[in-house]
């Protein structure tokens, strides 16, 4: 028996790179090959967006069969679940309970999907820029809103309170009139 045959089985892709682009892999602890169960329908991705992506890359006139659509859907769901598991493992190795974008990038490196990394990095950067712009916009709105808006809001609240008071007074007057009519009916 060779030394390679004596090693315990490790799940495909369960080995991870050593945190850099060195290409060397490290074995993950306590992970053995486990047969995969089918993806539950609850976790299955919708086929329409998957098919839009696939059709965008296929030449015109190429048809995709129903069985193929389901296979792509299953493959996409499994890829996301597997990538999530690896990213979660990386977060746990770093004593964190939150999976970050860096964990996803490290998981892609571990799975040797280096071609996807620049695209994902640019998506993360675009998301961060959008969040930064949104927070600056909200801060600017609050600064402009400041005392002037606070006074306007207070005036609006006062107006609403007056309307509510007037409505309550009208309702009370109607109740008083009804009560007087009932009292007069009882006297007769």
With a CB cutoff of 8 Å and minimum separation 6, the contacts of 94 are: 103
If you count DSSP H runs as helices and E runs as strands, how many of each does the chain have, helices first? 5, 2
pTM > 0.75: no
Look up the CATH number of the domain holding residue 50.
1.10.20.10
The total domain count for the chain is 2
Range of the domain at 87: 12-112
Measured distance CA(23)–CA(19) in Å, rounded = 9
- DSSP bridge partners of 17: 25
Q: What is the mean pLDDT of the chain?
A: 75
Q: Is the dihedral of CA 155, 157, 158, 163 positive or negative?
A: positive
79 in any annotated domain: yes
For residue 74, count other CB atoms closer than 10 A to its CB. Answer: 14
Please provide the size of the chain in residues: 188
Residue range 32-70, pLDDT digits in tens: 555 656 667 777 888 899 999 999 999 988 999 989 998
18 in any annotated domain: yes
């Amino acid at each position: 028996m060779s030394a390679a045959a004596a090693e315990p089985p490790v799940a495909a892709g369960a080995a991870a790179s050593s945190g850099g682009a060195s290409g060397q892999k490290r074995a993950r602890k306590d992970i053995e090959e486990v047969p995969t169960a089918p993806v539950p329908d609850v976790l299955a991705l919708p086929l329409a967006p998957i098919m839009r992506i696939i059709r965008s890359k296929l030449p015109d006139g190429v048809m995709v069969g129903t069985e193929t659509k389901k296979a792509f859907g299953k493959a996409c769901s499994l890829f996301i679940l597997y990538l999530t598991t690896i990213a979660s493992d990386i977060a746990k190795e770093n004593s964190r309970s939150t999976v970050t974008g860096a964990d996803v990038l490290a998981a892609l490196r571990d799975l040797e999907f280096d071609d996807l990394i620049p695209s994902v990095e640019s998506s993360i950067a675009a998301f961060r820029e959008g969040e930064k712009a949104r927070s600056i916009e909200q801060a600017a709105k609050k600064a402009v809103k400041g005392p002037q808006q606070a006074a306007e809001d207070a005036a609006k609240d006062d107006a609403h309170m007056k309307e509510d008071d007037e409505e309550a007074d009208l309702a009370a007057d109607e109740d008083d009139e009804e009560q007087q009519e009932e009292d007069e009916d009882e006297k007769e």
